[in-house]
Structure 1
Amino acid sequence: MEEIDQFTKWATNLQSIAQAGLHYGKDVFDRERYEQVRKIAGEMMQAKTGLPKEQIKTLFLGDEGYQTPKIETRAAIFKDDKILLVRERMAQEWSLPGGWNDYDQTTAQNCVKEAREESGRIVKPVKLIAVQDRNRHNKPVLATHVTKVLYLCKEISGEFVPNDETDACDYFALDNLPKLSLDRNTKEQIELCFKASKDPNWETVFE
């Protein structure tokens, strides 16, 4: 598990304070100060990560209101003791079907939607495998916290069609996994899914 370094903690704390101040603050001079603090936090993260300014604005400074974690869902779909993975078109790495939770979807609804869009499968969530803080399990560590929600899903129907996000889809045994997209899922997380699929008394992992 990779820990967030102190510099990143300082930058994210400054960003959180500034964002809350901009949301709740009424005095025009206070808001100007919060804007300046937020700008400095963004510059700190740009210096730390080397990411372009526009990407920093999107990933780190693009939120409004009281700062809360983003939510990501992933679907674990099994057949013959193999797990379904999709290949990300851009990165050419493999992951469980999933993505950001849309604002108007529950986590279960979003899991179904993402599975359909990325793998062509119609699924039904049947078990909550885990609710995890992304930065405790995935790399690289992000300034924005993400809550990952993993569902065990029953496959009902459907077949894969290449799309804008994924260009391949297949089932893999645990001992024969392809190159994984580690920011989306690690081998340990996929192992967790295998364990949940075999345990009728599985208790949700959370941390």
Structure 2
Amino acid sequence: MDGYLKEIRDLVGHRPMIFNSASGALLNDQGQVLLQERTDTGNWGFPGGYMEFGESYADTVVREFKEDAGVVVAPVKLLKLSDSLTYSYPNGDAVQPINCFYLVRHSSGRLLTAKTNETTALRYVDMDQPPTFFNAQHAEMFAVLKTYLAKNDNVG
């Protein structure tokens, strides 16, 4: 964590906070979705993260994909706004993330192949084989995407 969120956490410690975030679903030509193995839990989730001051949700998902996955994406459609989950990170930080979950399309770049401070691995997964997710919000996003794809003939 760096920048704006680190400044806030330095002031409030592990106290519960409400943060805005954005995540995205990037599909490949086989209808698989890109997921990120997280360094903090070892579980999987959609690339995304918390907004920096002055960003929009769309700006956030673009920045986070570049940081977490190495690719530039463009938001195509807002699939879900989630606001009811609370979660505590392994370090004790308690959050209620208000998350905009987008369907995104690839614009440029190649997937990262090296580990970063937030990403252990990246993998496209089949929609009928979900991994162990980071938290309930990511499992919910996977279900939302699966429903959307079923209603739209797997076309993003």
TM beyond 0.5: yes
Given the superposition, is the C-alpha separation of residues 57 and 150 from structure 1 closer, same or farther in structure 2, using an over 3 Å criterion? Answer: same
Q: Which one of 133, 137, 147 corresponds to residue 195 of structure 1?
A: 147
Distance in 2 (alpha carbons) for counterparts of 1:130 and 1:185: 11
Normalized per residue, the structure richer in helix is 1
Count of aligned pairs: 138
How much does 1:126 deviate? Answer: 0.6
Structure 2 gap segments, 5+ residues each: 1-8
How far has the Cα of 1:160 moved from its partner? Answer: 2.3
Structure 1 CA distance, aligned partners of 2:105 and 2:62?
A: 10
Q: CA contact under 8 A between 1:95 and 1:184: conserved in structure 2?
A: no
Task: Work out the CA distance in 1 between the residues paired with 2:137 and 2:147.
Answer: 19
Bigger Rg over Cα: 1
Contact 1:152 1:197 in 2 (8 A): no
- CA distance in structure 1 between the aligned counterparts of 2:40 and 2:87, rounded to whole angstroms: 18
Q: Which has the higher contact order (CA 8 A, sep 6+)?
A: 2
**TM-score (normalizing by structure 2):** 0.75
Residue 23 of structure 1 corresponds to none
Cα drift, residue 81 of structure 1: 1.2
Instruction: For 2:10 and 2:84, locate their aligned partners in 1 and report how far apart those are by CA, in whole Å.
Output: 20
Question: Is residue 116 from structure 1 mapped to residue 116 from structure 2 by the alignment?
Answer: no
Partner of 1:60: 15
Q: CA deviation at 1:146?
A: 2.4
**Any conservation in 1 of the 2:80–2:141 contact (CA below 8 Å)?**
no
Q: Report the secondary structure of 1:145's partner residue.
A: strand
Q: Does 1:166 align with 2:116?
A: no
**Structure 1: any 5+ residue segments left out of the alignment?**
1-53, 64-68, 201-207
Cα deviation 1:93-144 (Å, max 9, x = unaligned): 1100011111121100100000111011211001001111142xx656x964
Question: Is 1:102 paired with 2:52?
Answer: yes
Distance between the aligned counterparts of 2:150 and 2:107, measured in 1? 19
Partner of 1:132: 82
Structure 1: distance between partners of 2:70 and 2:94: 32
Letter in 2 for 1:59: H
Residue 16 (structure 1) aligns with:
none
Shift of 1:190: 0.4
The code of the aligned residue for 1:194 comes to K
Q: TM-score, normalised by structure 1?
A: 0.58
Question: For residue 25 of structure 1, what is the aligned residue in structure 2?
Answer: none
The 1:156–1:179 alpha-carbon spacing in structure 2 relative to 1, beyond 3 Å, is same
Instruction: Give the 3 Å change call, closer, same or farther, for CA 86–144 of structure 1 in structure 2.
Output: closer
Specify the alignment match of 2:96 in structure 1. Answer: 145
Match of 2:22 in 1: 73
